[in-house]
Amino acid sequence: MRRVKTGLVLAAALVTAGCGSGSGSGTTPATASAPSPGGTWSVLVSGSATPSPTPSLGSARPTAGVTASLPSANPSCTKAWPATDPVLIPVAVTPIAGGFKVEWPRQYDSNYRVTAVPQKLVSGAQPAPVWKNVPAGTGCTISATITGLIPGAPYVVWLDAPNTGYEADGTRHLYSGRSGVVYPK
């Protein structure tokens, strides 16, 4: 290791040493004259250049349409739920007169809440959704009925399962779901 004065001497040392050439020719950097008191010093270490990292393209992910593998308290549950998104709980919505029947797979003994959010454009602040609380239940699926909606108007049904817990690595279990745009009868 050799100490050199920063500035022009350092630049000269790098140029004469063939900075990053990796030739291993054995040339030594230029030496500096005696340092002035209180000067700034840098330490140069001989070595060779390292290649830049190459990005990895990764592997392909499975596409939607695969059946979701969701936990259930009852192993005899046989209904297959389509995996529309790896993060969302699948939700089945059936239009009824002035509302919807909503069904989803039971998750981790969590309680739930469900709402239908109007999709009509509103100027200004949006109205807060009115949530309906739903207990965890014991079967394979949970269902709730939402009523009091405008027939033929567009809605999106939201589902929230706030007590689904966490995986060992700290990520949340599936805890929400939503439908596409649906219309009550």
In a domain, 70, yes or no: no
> What is residue 6's predicted lDDT score, i.e. its pLDDT?
47
- pTM of the complete model: 0.57
State which residues form the domain around 34.
Answer: 2-44
In a domain, 85, yes or no: no
Give me the number of domains the chain comprises.
2
Q: pLDDT-derived band of residue 24, with 50, 70 and 90 as boundaries?
A: very low
Model confidence pLDDT, tens digit, residues 52-74:
666 555 444 443 333 334 444 45
- Helix or strand holding residue 13 (H, E): helix 8-17
Looking at residue 176, which CATH number applies to its domain? 2.60.40.10
| 11 secondary structure, DSSP code | H
Is the pLDDT confidence value at 112 over 70?
A: yes
Lowest mean pLDDT among 29-38, 83-92, 126-135: 29-38
For residues 85-106, average pLDDT: 91
DSSP labels, 55-101: PP---PPPPTTSBP----S-TT--PPPB-S-SSBPP-EEEEETTEEE
In a domain, 149, yes or no: yes
Lowest mean pLDDT among 34-43, 85-94, 110-119: 34-43
Model confidence pLDDT, tens digit, residues 76-91:
777 888 766 767 889 9
